[in-house]
């Protein structure tokens, strides 16, 4: 190897290590935070039943082709991201007017299997001396003991709080139905109540630790979009852009894409969840890039629309600036007490009204009919995190602002999506570092 090439490789390594922070294997909140959530859950359910949650098994995911990641509610309450775990919370017998306390909180995990660990690596076992310290649970037991512990707890309670409904868009319908079936077999005399609404009310309000993880997911995703703005040009394939973006957010610590990357150009810029990403980008088209990563399990969600050749046509610019104006109007009004969903005087209504009163289609009709989805949604452990759209926004909610106009007849789709945090008196624009205006985008794409 020549000395010149050696110096080049050395400088490249130094640049990579200096420009990218080293990523932890999996960053999570302090274990005390998960304990506090469990105690709060026991209090919110009233202390009249035990609480049971099951984590995913390897078989519940396509584990041979994807990294294991936990059932969201289970992870939210335990911080445990290994398969085949179970959680049992047993409240103390409570009296009217007395704050509910937790008598037992037990995490059940598989016993050591030396043969299996040759394939998967060392695992924590229930009998390991540091099991409590590493999980944050006062009691850690083998999964084989779950049923006996549950039946013992049910001697004082006749009710089990568990997940009776699957999380929307999670694909866990079969998993959730199987959990309920197994519980009915284990404890046929117990009544079952749905714990999901109680957990989801907690999840809607983000803790400081969750916000910190969201910031890291958003910052890494911003870098992926900045790289894409320098990659997009006529002749490049959509999947090349998607791959470059995933490379950028993964090298900054994201574990996986927050959702299948959407890179749609030309006509496919008007298809909301187009994720084939298999078209070659053409001169004169726009491309919608809805791509983001997940850090510590927390999902960012960011979209930008670019001119493939680096310059918006007058019509593309007109549509783009209408969408940007709608987003600015909604973001300016986003604060506690406002509603995100489709109701009168909501943030969605503000964005829709702006779009419907600015510009026309080729037939002279208002553009509101081309804004065909909601304005935004909660983000967190899921890119569409649980929240009630019938309730007003509150401080510590993290949501997206993503108006769009999609005109298939003109092959113009424009979506601009940013992440914001609702604060006490307004909101913080978490993804503000990523250019949004026409001038900023064209300048960056020109390499300036």
User: How much is the pLDDT for 369?
Assistant: 98
In the sheet with 303-307, reading across from the earlier edge strand, the strands are 262-265, 286-290, 303-307
CA distances from 355 to 54, 90, 269 (A): 45, 52, 18
User: How much is the pLDDT for 231?
Assistant: 97
Residue 155, Cβ neighbours under 10 Å: how many? Answer: 7
Q: Quick one: DSSP state of residue 206?
A: P
Per-residue pLDDT of the chain (448 residues; tens, 9 = 90+): 443 333 333 333 333 333 444 344 689 999 999 999 999 999 999 999 999 999 998 887 765 567 888 999 999 999 999 999 999 999 997 777 788 999 999 999 999 999 988 888 899 999 999 999 999 999 999 999 999 999 999 999 999 999 998 877 777 888 899 999 999 999 999 999 999 999 999 999 999 999 999 999 999 999 999 999 999 999 999 999 999 999 999 999 999 999 999 999 999 999 999 999 999 999 999 999 999 999 999 999 999 999 999 999 999 999 999 999 999 999 999 999 999 999 888 999 999 999 999 999 999 999 999 999 999 999 999 999 999 999 999 999 999 999 999 999 999 999 999 999 999 999 999 999 999 999 999 999 999 7
User: How much is the pLDDT for 25?
Assistant: 65
| Residue pair 84/143 in contact by the 8 Å Cβ criterion | yes
User: How much is the pLDDT for 435?
Assistant: 98
> Where does residue 231 fall: left (phi above 0), alpha (psi -120 to 50 degrees), or beta otherwise?
alpha
Closest by CA position to 172, among listed 196, 142, 201: 196
User: How much is the pLDDT for 64?
Assistant: 59
User: How much is the pLDDT for 169?
Assistant: 74
User: How much is the pLDDT for 68?
Assistant: 85
Closest by CA position to 217, among listed 241, 243, 250, 244: 250
Domains along the chain?
31-204 (3.40.350.10), 208-445 (3.90.230.10)
User: How much is the pLDDT for 197?
Assistant: 95
Q: Is the dihedral of CA 306, 312, 313, 319 positive or negative?
A: positive
CA distances from 379 to 210, 300, 317, 402 (A): 10, 7, 29, 13
Q: Which helix (H) or strand (E) holds 103?
A: strand 102-109
Q: Which helix (H) or strand (E) holds 307?
A: strand 303-307
CA distances from 341 to 133, 247, 399 (A): 42, 34, 12
Phi, psi dihedral angles at 72 (to 5 degrees): -65, -45
In whole angstroms, what is the distance from residue 275 CA to residue 246 CA?
14
Phi, psi dihedral angles at 310 (to 5 degrees): 95, -5
Residue 176, Cβ neighbours under 10 Å: how many? Answer: 19
User: How much is the pLDDT for 66?
Assistant: 75
């Amino acid at each position: 190897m020549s000395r010149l090439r050696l110096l080049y490789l050395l400088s490249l390594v130094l640049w990579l290590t200096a420009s990218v922070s080293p990523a932890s294997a999996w960053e999570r909140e302090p274990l005390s935070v998960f304990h506090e959530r469990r105690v709060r859950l026991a209090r919110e359910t009233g202390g009249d039943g035990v609480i049971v949650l099951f984590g995913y098994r390897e078989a519940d995911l396509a584990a041979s082709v994807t990294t294991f990641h936990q059932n969201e509610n289970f992870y939210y309450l335990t911080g445990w991201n290994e398969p085949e775990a179970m959680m049992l919370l047993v409240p103390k017998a409570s009296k009217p007017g007395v704050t509910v306390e937790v008598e037992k909180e037990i995490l059940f995990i598989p016993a050591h299997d030396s043969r299996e660990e040759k394939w998967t690596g060392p695992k924590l076992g229930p009998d390991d001396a540091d099991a409590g310290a590493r999980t944050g649970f006062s009691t850690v037991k083998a999964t084989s003991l779950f049923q006996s512990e549950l039946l013992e707890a049910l001697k004082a309670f006749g009710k089990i709080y568990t997940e009776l409904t699957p999380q929307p868009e999670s694909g866990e319908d079969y998993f959730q139905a199987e959990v309920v079936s197994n519980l009915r077999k284990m404890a046929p005399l117990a009544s079952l109540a749905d714990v999901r609404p109680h957990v989801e009310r907690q999840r809607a309000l983000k803790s400081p630790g969750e916000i910190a993880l969201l910031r890291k997911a958003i910052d890494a995703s911003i870098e992926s979009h900045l790289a894409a703005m320098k990659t997009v040009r006529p002749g490049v394939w959509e999947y090349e852009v998607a791959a470059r973006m995933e490379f950028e957010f993964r090298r900054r610590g994201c574990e996986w894409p927050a959702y299948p990357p959407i890179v749609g150009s030309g006509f496919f810029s008007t298809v909301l969840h187009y994720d084939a990403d298999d078209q070659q980008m053409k001169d004169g088209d726009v491309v919608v890039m809805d791509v983001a990563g997940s850090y510590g399990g927390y999902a960012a969600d960011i979209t930008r629309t670019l001119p493939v050749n680096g310059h918006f046509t007058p019509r593309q610019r007109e549509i783009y600036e209408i969408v940007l104006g709608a987003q600015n109007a909604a973001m300016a009004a986003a604060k506690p007490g406002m509603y995100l969903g489709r109701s009168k005087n909501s943030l969605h209504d503000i964005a829709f009204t702006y779009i419907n009163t600015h510009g026309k289609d080729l037939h002279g009709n208002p553009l509101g009919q081309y804004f065909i989805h909601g304005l935004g949604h909660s983000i967190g452990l899921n890119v569409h995190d649980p929240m009630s759209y019938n309730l007003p926004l509150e401080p510590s909610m993290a949501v997206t602002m993503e108006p769009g106009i999609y005109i298939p007849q003109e092959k113009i789709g424009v979506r601009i999506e940013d992440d914001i945090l609702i604060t006490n008196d307004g909101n913080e624009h978490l993804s503000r570092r990523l250019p949004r205006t026409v001038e900023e985008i064209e300048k960056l794409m020109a390499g300036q």
